[in-house]
Structure 1
Amino acid sequence: MLFDGLLDARIAVAESSIGSAISVLMPEEMVAMRGAVPSRQNEFAAGRHCARVAMAELGRHALAIPMGSDRAPIWPDGLVGSISHCGSWCAAAVGRVAEGFAAIGIDIEAARPLDIELAEEICTDGEREWLTKMPEADRGALLAAIFSAKEATYKCQYALTGKLVDFQAISIEFDLAHGRFQARFETDVLPYRVRDTLPGTIRLGAEHITTAVVVQR
């Protein structure tokens, strides 16, 4: 599985392929899918299915996970989590608040190099400078890794701050040899201040890039 060993062992993770599983949705969840195209319905249903499998691993009964007005999942009381989709694959990670977890962010991306011109949009000045020091053949893949790390970070911080931030608000520093990164705030996103950091983990696979950020209380 993509996230094996990437998260704290107390966090439950479930993964599955995305199929035509709209029937697994609960009434509170179906509301969000009214008028959605079938592919979006299937992604949404697979995410909720994975989330409930993960919840069951934590001893929680199957409960609805509605979508809020901001499109983020509304997790049952006492739980925090994150859902990600990529192509035909989906994953969900869920942790207990009682075990000290405050927020989780996960991301899956295809392991395909991004057009390096996208660095202007995705990267801070420091990240672009770092990319120029890397072998030219690796830069597109590393840009994709930066993108995934930021996506996981944004999900995690949003669960705590409720604030939408752009790509320039956070910078990523990798320790790829150990599968880790630090996400550093480049602007105040209260309660976080400039230079505050969040720890993350990353795996560069043959087909997917997987990243995770977890905040504990």
Structure 2
Amino acid sequence: MHRKAVPEKIRKRIFQEASMVCPVCGETDVTTLEMHHIDPYSEVVNHKEENIILLCSNCHSKVTAGKISKEEILKLKISLMHGNNPNLNRAKDTNVINFNQSVNNGVIANNLHIKNEGGKIKVNPPNGTIASSMHHKNYVKRLIDRYHEFKLADVGAKNMNYTLLYSTIKREFGAKWDMIPLDQFERLVSYIQRRIDNTILGKNQKSNDVKRYSTFDEFLSKYSS
């Protein structure tokens, strides 16, 4: 069977998602970083982003050999989709990496600048995106977690898919949830709130006039200093 290459746009987003760091071991040498299909390509025959994770060649071979389990890789993928690479601060490289990104009509343009400085890695969120505002980012993340709580009550742990909402947000808005422009914040919030309301638990609570989530203003009043 002829295997199609991973589209360049998807490759770039996968590299960006992991901040160019292997989430298993912290390797930052870009020449060793590879695409790994969590469910084998031979079985799914597609290149969906939610099924691809960035790994260094060494960790990739360990996964293929079964030395690193699929469950471990899936947990790492979920963490990356949450915007967290567990090995980012323990990366082996001594470079500071800054992503300077600009938002233009919802399209994110990327420019990578690398300089040696202080033995640490720093990733600056793009200006004008949800990631650039701590309160906006935390509120959206709280809504996502709230949706997962409601959906888990609907389907149970065995049938729960934590990556699905992240994928639907990316399809709907054309960007990873925290890379969405701030001027789309209210639309994103409404989108996730509707998803909460449309769960079985959400419909039940709504019909009984039970509060399902806080507003952004309520969230700020509670958590902002």
Q: Using structure 1 for the length normalisation, give the TM-score.
A: 0.28
The structure with the greater share of residues assigned to helix is 2
- Higher RCO, 1 or 2 (CA under 8 Å, sep at least 6)? 1
Greater strand fraction, Structure 1 or Structure 2: 1
The structure with the largest alpha-carbon Rg is 2
Scaled by the length of structure 2, what TM-score is found?
0.27
